[in-house]
Chain A
Amino acid sequence: MRTALRRLGIYVFTAWATITANFVLPRLMPGNPIEQLIGKLQGRVTPEMIAAIKAQFGQGLNEPMWVQYGHYWGQLFHGDMGVSITLSAPVSQVLSSQMWWTIGLIGTAAVVSFIIGTALGVLFGWTRGSRADSIIPVATFLQSVPYYFLGTILIMLFAGTLHLFPIMGAYDSSLNPGWSWAYIASVLRYAELPLTSIVLSSLAGWMLGMRNMMVTTVSEDFVLMAVAKGLPRRSVMWHAARNAVLPSVANLALTIGLLVSGSLLVEQIFNYPGVGNLLVSAVGNEDYPLLQGIFLMITFTVLGANLLADILYYVLDPRTRTASVN
């Protein structure tokens, strides 16, 4: 319970740090990026927009920093993250319309690659020292390939040359979005290739980690005991695998961040709607309000995923539940 509260405390603190960083960074960066932005926008957008940006980033206001900070929190609590400069729509509205594509794509990819990668890791850890070990260099190479590069190659091979998959977008643009079978089928069809590229590039990491843990676990005494008892091989393997998977789950925090970072670019390659695509265009257009909103959203989602991983760990490892207060 204590450890659970501690983890929660860390996430709350991280959330606070992210929100504060969003406030502090544009104000303290050398070269005053906001002033430069306003200079560039002069005459290109409406005066109201400039006034809104000035208010959001505390330009030309004579309020002390902490008053601005309080004001910033007040706005956040009302779900107000400013107005996107390029899209001329509230950031919260833009995000809530686009985030489900990303969560659907990356979430599915993460779950699929974790399950397949861990299962393969168990198998290769079990058969260590055999010919199956030659998978290691291949997996290492695959792990080092940037997600976006693999995506590009997949497009070139399967969409460009062989015409097996649609190239870009998230659904057939001739269909009307809605709950029709044709639309859902086309969404699934368009997600296949981006999903494959994320799964392929993140799979190897899970697999190698799991294999190493499996190799270590298999030489524990309890596995010897299980063999000595005469349990069938499959039960012994399952026995060892359940124990070996714990560090993988404990490491989810680190890997989820990497996975999300990598996957954001896959969206851009496939021209898939979603937060990653928004992020890239926001950076290109120096759309700071949108950029900040995206950063908050991504960090919060990753924190939420970490929390889920912690709960999973709690369920899987009975020791965390009986841990005495130390």
Chain B
Amino acid sequence: MRSMRVPRSPKVLVGLCILGIFILLTLIGPWIAPYDPNDTSFVPNLRPSWQHLFGTTTLGQDVISQLLVGCRVTMVVGFIAGTLATIISLVVGLAAGYIGGRTDEGLSLLSNVFLAIPGLPLLIVINSYLPAGEQANPLVVGLVIALTGWAWGARVLRAQTMSLRDRDFVEAARIIGESRWRIMLGEIGPNLLPIIAASFLFTILYSVGVYTTLAFLGLTNVATWNWGTMLYWAQTNNAALANEWWWLAPPGIAIALVGTSLALINFGIDEFINPRLRAAGLTARQRRRVGMARRPRLGFTPVQRSEVRKKGASS
């Protein structure tokens, strides 16, 4: 099998670098945090300095320690929820797309329902019925997030499975008598990999966003540090009006950076799936290297069409 060539565009590289840093922080964050995030013994409202790189909060806590410790829970919940949601969407999408008929009708209806119901309110409702102890449990919260976030991936995977179902190689596998599961996992599965990867990244993105939102609302345990709870405490203490940007900005920017990195990697996967996007991504230097005089327009190999266009514009 041809090895997968993920385009090594700068977008993907930057995305991978940022994500790599955050994964590293997830692993070692709590160890390299300079102070205990709960320690309230520092001078409150300090601006960033060498003692406190990101300053201190109104409650006299060290901001960077909270950020580093909170990284782990945030990322782990995102990862758990993303994994679970991808598994659900893969099973549903494959089954609906390959088996078809009644199974497809039922499963498609189910995913359409979950697509139409707005996720966050549903999540808030389910979460509020959970016993108080479970609300603080990242595993349970991750599971609930996964239950509300799988439908999008399932729909995309179903569409792709349906387009693969009648290809010759699948037909051949069917004729030589391979079992249904083997065809789904062995023949169709590998061809879905880019889409599975894209939907995995998308659901992690969604999960991190939703989890921090829940935490921001104070719906998870506000004593466990994650980026959402940091913003929750900043909001309850009116950090915005006190102009304490060093308290607000780190968690918000961290969330946005994780999201950006995942989206950038997704761009690479998109370009892998859809080559037309790839051609559009050529920079001036790359174009010169391959000998393109002009940037590609309208999807053709660039030829000197400018006269045509000028004539057209003047008529």
Contacts from A to B (Cβ < 8 Å): 10-11, 13-14, 17-18, 21-22, 25-26, 29-31, 33, 36, 128-130, 133, 136-137, 140-141, 143-146, 148-149, 152-153, 155-156, 160-161, 167, 212, 215-216, 218-220, 223-224, 227, 230-233, 253-254, 256-258, 260-262, 264-265, 268-269, 279-280, 283-284, 286, 288, 291-292, 294-295, 298-299, 302-303, 306
Contacts and interface: CB of A to CB of B under 8 A. Distances in A.
Given A156-B241, A215-B277, A254 B231 contact: no
A146 B116 contact: no
Interface string B100-138: 000000000100110111111110111011110010000
Contact of A257 (B118, B243, B245, B315): B118
Top 7 closest pairs, chain A to chain B, by CB? A219-B299, A144-B259, A261-B120, A31-B131, A149-B252, A129-B295, A257-B118
Contacts, number: 204
13 contacts: A14-B116, A25-B126, A31-B134, A136-B11, A141-B257, A144-B259, A155-B241, A160-B242, A232-B312, A253-B115, A264-B120, A286-B128, A306-B116
B299 A146 contact: no
A37 to B, nearest CB: 10
B259 A227 contact: no
Interface in B199-224: 205, 209, 212-213, 216-219
Contacts of B281: 129, 133
B290 to A, nearest CB: 13
A232 B313 contact: yes
Interface in B228-269: 231, 234-235, 239-243, 245, 248-249, 252, 255-260, 263-264, 267
B130 A215 contact: no
Interface residues of B, number: 72
A155 to B, nearest CB: 5
B280 interface: yes
A16 to B, nearest CB: 9
A295 B148 CA distance: 14
A130 B248 contact: no
B309 interface: yes
State the majority secondary structure of interface residues on B. helix
Contacts of B113: 10, 13-14, 17
A21 to B, nearest CB: 8
Contact of A149 (B255, B258, B305): B255
Contacts of B4: none
B41 interface: no
B282 interface: yes
Given A227-B298, A256-B118, 7 more contacts: A145-B259, A152-B231, A160-B241, A212-B274, A227-B312, A258-B119, A284-B218
